[in-house]
Structure 1
Amino acid sequence: MQIPISEIKGIRIGQTENKDAATGCTVFISDNGMRAGLDVRGGGPASRDSQLLNPLMAAQFVHAIVLGGGSAFGLGAAGGVMSYLEERDIGFDVGVTKVPLVVQSDIFDLTVGDKSVRPDFDMGYEAARLAFEAPNYKDGNFGGGTGATVGKYCGMETCMKTGIGSYAVRIGELEIGAVVVLNALGDVFDHKTGKKVAGLLNPDKNGFRSTVELMKESTAVVQNKFTGNTTIGIIMTNAYFEKASLCKIAGMAHDGFARSINPVHTSADGDSIYAVSLGDVSADQDVVGTLAAEVMSEAILSAVNNADSAYGFPSARDLSI
């Protein structure tokens, strides 16, 4: 049964954005800390403290995960999240104080709006505050998905607007959901039908071109593919898993990327997926990993279907292709 992402207990979600500058961030917070894993498949990630999620590292919990814009410039948003959590006495107890453990991954959206404006301390603080005081998660042109676009192999002139999307299900006691910021170099497909739903447009913007077929026309080195890429997401479940299993589940969730985005995991993408455990429901790791891929593919469709045209880039809902 499909459920709203907000029904998954144990996590708070807040997001904020600067619509004029086309950037923002989305924050996921667990008051008591959450077990988390990470799998990075893209070649150009922008991240903060990702090594905390290595199963060999001592920390068993993190307190917040940030999905943001601004590329590496936007990683400062985590500082604002830390500050807000410190005020609430949330963090890892080191004796003299509590240190909130906050990890972050960002998309490259600097070519969409104002490149000088990025998620910063204040934006992170506000997103964390909203997560507690006025949870405001929405799919579409919000939070980390404010400046998201897809289909950029030929540059920004023929790409499409996407955003942030979510999807969650309940099967018996098990709950699992995904949130994704869809900002891929490649094209996007409905994983159930194979139909292209977003991606590289033709010069007249009245039809699609195939990124993969265009790649085949020339194998010459492309000098700069970094026109604004990276898809990042998070899998949330109430099942109990340790870090090593969560890293595996995050890896299996990348199958959802591969079913829906082509090409994917390129050197110009920083594709990254977190997986977090929020409860104590007993479930098989491989079953949860398989479901993770499914809900991720559905979240990708939501990121396409709920986006509005903005910043001169058309969305799927405004094109009849």
Structure 2
Amino acid sequence: MKEIEITDIEGFFFGQKESEDCHTGCTVILNKDGATAGVDVRGGAPGTRETDALKSENLVDHIHGVFLAGASAFGLEVGTGVMKYLEEAGVGFDVGVTRVPIVPGAILFDLREDDQDMRPDATMGYEAAASAFHHSHLKQGNFGAGAGATVGKGKGPSFSMKGGLGYSAIQIGNVKVGAVVAVNCFGDVVNPETGQIIAGMQKKGTFLNSEEVMMDEVLEGRTNRFRGNTTIGAVVTNAIVDKPAANKLAAMSHDGLARTIRPSHTFVDGDTLFFMGSGKISCDYNSLGVMAVRAVETAVQNAVIHARSTKNFLSAKDL
């Protein structure tokens, strides 16, 4: 197994855009020819677009992009801009009178009290899509859908830390797998090999351990905790997958979240992962799933490792 750049995975184009104040943004992953795709929504508070189209029994076999965005449900507007750009580029499902791009997406919560105007919108989605086709590139940390992300929110913002966007890609033989994840979790981010917390709930630089704090408060009845959270992402591969397999592989990929985010998939997270295959290389699905989990694990850790501190939130690198 070797590490590769995620942009080395054939058929996929990556782009992102942040708001002027860099407190929110979006990330897009495009495929001009259409990728076989699946999705698995595990969190209790999701915000998604067109995920029903990806059910194994439904008609559409390929999608042309996925978007990840901030701003809670307002961020779903990003998909309109991505669709507009793809239609202009002649990319989409041929319906005779035009081509309809199929662009599912998911959002996370990063709304702020001090500025309600800066939200990812159709214009931002259009610009992110254009940048993907012109220069496929991603930055980790405070960029794209991870610009406003935070982690460790069980006791509110004063105890939280900076989250972000991370990616990772690996190759075994001719099979390539990569993951892009915007980490905005309720829980802590941990190193799965050591169990050590990397970023999460803290007080004056000392980690409090979200799971331990929550268990101590089990009788307090606080289900609706600090605002919204959610970790969202996509796994991409050059492997050949059919639609049912893509959905199952999306489900397997969530193991990467469970290993690195504690707790994950809570009532106040909307954890959602997409899986996209460009259909180039045959391989074993079980092995492919293991590779996907490894990529997600590393992407989650990279998101907080590369994050920078802001005025209100400390980053892992500055702890």
- Structure 2 counterpart of 1:206: 205
Change (3 A) 1:19 1:186: farther
Distance 2:217 2:166 in 1: 34
**Structure 1 unmatched runs, 5+:** none
Equivalent AA in structure 1 for residue 254 of structure 2 = H
- Structure 1 counterpart of 2:231: 231
Distance 1:251 1:311 in 2: 36
- Structure 2 counterpart of 1:95: 96
Are residues 1:167 and 2:168 paired? yes
SS of residue paired to 2:66:
strand
Distance 2:302 2:159 in 1: 21
Equivalent AA in structure 1 for residue 217 of structure 2 = S
**1:78-157 maps to which residues of 2 (within 5 A)?**
78-111=79-112, 114-157=115-158
Q: Could you tell me whether the CA contact under 8 Å between 2:189 and 2:200 is conserved in 1?
A: yes
For residues 106-146 of structure 1, what are the alpha-carbon distances to aligned partners after superposition, in whole Å with 9 as ceiling and x for unaligned?
11111386333211010000000101113331111110000
SS of residue paired to 1:102:
coil
Distance 2:92 2:236 in 1: 20
Q: Alpha-carbon deviation of 1:195? A: 0.9
SS of residue paired to 1:184:
coil
- Structure 2 counterpart of 1:185: 186
Are residues 1:242 and 2:242 paired? yes
Q: Alpha-carbon deviation of 1:224? A: 2.8
- Structure 1 counterpart of 2:197: 196
Distance 1:231 1:18 in 2: 20
Q: Could you tell me whether the CA contact under 8 Å between 1:20 and 1:113 is conserved in 2?
A: no
Q: Alpha-carbon deviation of 1:284? A: 0.8
For residues 282-318 of structure 1, what are the alpha-carbon distances to aligned partners after superposition, in whole Å with 9 as ceiling and x for unaligned?
1111111111111100111110111101141010001
Change (3 A) 1:13 1:112: farther
CA RMSD after TM alignment: 1.2
Distance 2:42 2:113 in 1: 24
Equivalent AA in structure 1 for residue 288 of structure 2 = V
Change (3 A) 1:25 1:93: same
Distance 2:115 2:169 in 1: 33
- Structure 2 counterpart of 1:54: 55
- Structure 2 counterpart of 1:215: 214
**1:14-25 maps to which residues of 2 (within 5 A)?**
14-20=15-21, 22-25=23-26
For residues 193-235 of structure 1, what are the alpha-carbon distances to aligned partners after superposition, in whole Å with 9 as ceiling and x for unaligned?
2111010012xx2210011111122222115315230001111
- Structure 1 counterpart of 2:69: 68
- Structure 2 counterpart of 1:276: 276
Change (3 A) 1:174 1:17: same
Equivalent AA in structure 2 for residue 310 of structure 1 = T
Q: Could you tell me whether the CA contact under 8 Å between 1:113 and 1:311 is conserved in 2?
A: no
Distance 1:41 1:107 in 2: 14
- Structure 1 counterpart of 2:40: 39
Q: Could you tell me whether the CA contact under 8 Å between 1:21 and 1:113 is conserved in 2?
A: no
Q: Alpha-carbon deviation of 1:180? A: 0.4
Q: Could you tell me whether the CA contact under 8 Å between 1:160 and 1:198 is conserved in 2?
A: yes
- Structure 1 counterpart of 2:4: 3
Q: Could you tell me whether the CA contact under 8 Å between 1:22 and 1:113 is conserved in 2?
A: no
Distance 1:12 1:136 in 2: 8
SS of residue paired to 1:35:
strand
Distance 1:226 1:87 in 2: 41
Q: Alpha-carbon deviation of 1:78? A: 0.5
Which aligned runs of 4 or more in structure 1 are off by greater than 6 angstroms? none
For residues 1-21 of structure 1, what are the alpha-carbon distances to aligned partners after superposition, in whole Å with 9 as ceiling and x for unaligned?
100111111011110001515
Q: Could you tell me whether the CA contact under 8 Å between 1:189 and 1:198 is conserved in 2?
A: yes
**Structure 2 unmatched runs, 5+:** none
- Structure 2 counterpart of 1:304: 304
Q: What TM-score comes out, normalization by structure 2 length? A: 0.97
Equivalent AA in structure 1 for residue 183 of structure 2 = L
Segment of structure 1 superposing worse, 18-27 or 189-198: 18-27
Change (3 A) 1:86 1:269: same
